[in-house]
Amino acid sequence: MKNVVSSLLLFSAMLGSIAVTAAGQTNVYGDEVSRNETSSAEQPKTQIINYMDTTTGTKLSSSVMLGFAPVDLKENAIEDIAGYENKGYRLSSEDLSADSSELMVNFEHGTSIVNPLNSKTPDTPININDQTGVKWPAETAHNALVKSVNEIIHYVYEDGSRASADVINKVDFNHELIYDNVTGKPISDHGWTTNDKAYFAAQVSPTIQGYVPNQMAVAEVNNLSADSKDLEVTVVYKQVKSLTPSDVSTKPAFVDSLTPTKLATSNSNSDTLVHTATATSPAIEQPESISESDNSSALTLPKTGANRTARLSTIGIIVAAFGSVGLFIFGRNR
C-alpha cells in the first residue's frame, strides 16, 4: 500500500514540473523554449485614445483600450465616435491602426446654413439624435429671416375719394446665417440681401380725363435696405375748369376792315367812303402804325373816313358861299 501511494505522489510531481517549465524557458529535458513556443496568441495591447475638438483646440475625453490592435480598437471606438457625432460634431480624422500607445480621434464642429429656404422651428433640437441638447433659437424662424419694404401710392380726388387703384411696390430682403451645431450659436452672418434691385422705380401718375395730378410722377427711391421704412404717397387729382361764356369778357373789341365800303347818300354827285367796323371777341387787334408823311397824302384814314368827309364838306361850303356872293353881285348889277 505504501508503494502505491509513493508512486502516485511521484507522478504528480512530474506533471507539476512539466507545467512549470512550459510557462518558463526550459522543458523537463533542460532544453530552452522560445517565446513563440510558449504562447499560442499575442498578448493584449493597452492603448489610450484621445478625442479632440479641433475647432476649439480642447480634449473632449480619453479612453483606455485593452485589445488586439488594430481591429479591436476600431470596434471599441465606434460607439464613442457615434456619440460625439450625435451631439453635432463631425469626424475629421482618425488613425486607429497605428502601432502607438496613444492615438488621436479628431472632431470639428458641424455647421448648418440657415436662410428663408432653410428656416428652422424654434425650440426644437438642432441635432435630431440629441433630444436634450441645444435647440434652434427664435432667430431661425422663417418670419425672422425675411423683411419687406413697401411703397404704397394712393390716387385720390380733392374730396378724398379714390381716383385710381393703389399701386404697391415691394422689395424683399433675405437673411442668411451659419450656425454651430454643437453650441447652437451663429458663427457667421451673411447679412441681408435681395434678389431684386434695392430701389423703387419712378411711378408715372395715371391720366384721368378732366383732372390733373399734383405730382405727374412719384420720384424714384434709391438705396433701400432691410432697415428702410415703408413709404406711403398720396397723389391728389384736381379738376380742370372748362372755359364758359361767363369766363370770357363780353365787351366787343372793334377792328377795322382793311377794305373800304362805299356809303350811298342822297347826293348822287358825292359819295362818302367809309370803313366797316367788325366786332370780334375776345382778341383785340393792335392799331396800325401810320407815319406822318402818309397822313398828308392819304385819301382815307384806315380807321375812319372822317378826314375826307370833312374836307368835302368844307369845299361845298366854300363853293356855296362864292355862289351866293356871285348871285348877290349879279342881281345888284342888274
pLDDT digits (tens, 9 = 90+) for 95-142: 777 677 888 999 999 999 999 999 999 999 999 999 999 999 999 999
The ranges assigned to domains in the chain are 45-109, 112-239, 249-287+299-312
Mean pLDDT of the chain: 75
| Residue 77 pLDDT > 90 | no
Three-class DSSP category at 143: helix
Close Cβ partners of 187 (under 8 Å, ≥ 6 residues apart): 111, 178, 179, 180
Q: What is the pLDDT of residues 150-172, one digit of tens each?
A: 999 999 999 999 999 999 999 99
Architecture of domain 112-239: Sandwich (2.60)
What local confidence, expressed as pLDDT, does residue 294 receive? 46
Is 65 or 272 the better-scoring residue by pLDDT? Answer: 65
Average pLDDT over residues 180-195: 96
Asked whether the predicted pLDDT for residue 279 surpasses 60, the reply is no
Provide the CATH number for the domain formed by 45-109 in this structure.
3.10.20.470
Between 230 and 252, residue with greater pLDDT = 230
Same topology, domains 45-109 and 112-239? Answer is: no
Query: What mean pLDDT comes out for the span 264-273?
Result: 45
78-93: pLDDT as tens digits: 889 999 999 999 999 9
pLDDT, tens only, 299-317: 444 444 445 555 556 666 7
Instruction: Look up cell 359819295; give the residue.
Output: 271
Helices (H), the chain: 2-23, 35-38, 71-86, 292-297, 306-333
pLDDT score of 290: 43
Q: How far apart are CA 274 and CA 307, in angstroms?
A: 10
Which set of grid coordinates corresponds to residue 54? 479641433
**136 CB neighbour count, 10 Å cutoff:** 19
The strand pairing partners of 102, in sequence order, are: 48
- Rounded Cα distance between 28 and 302, Å, is 168
Task: Compute CA 37 distance to the chain's CA centroid, rounded to the nearest angstrom.
Answer: 83
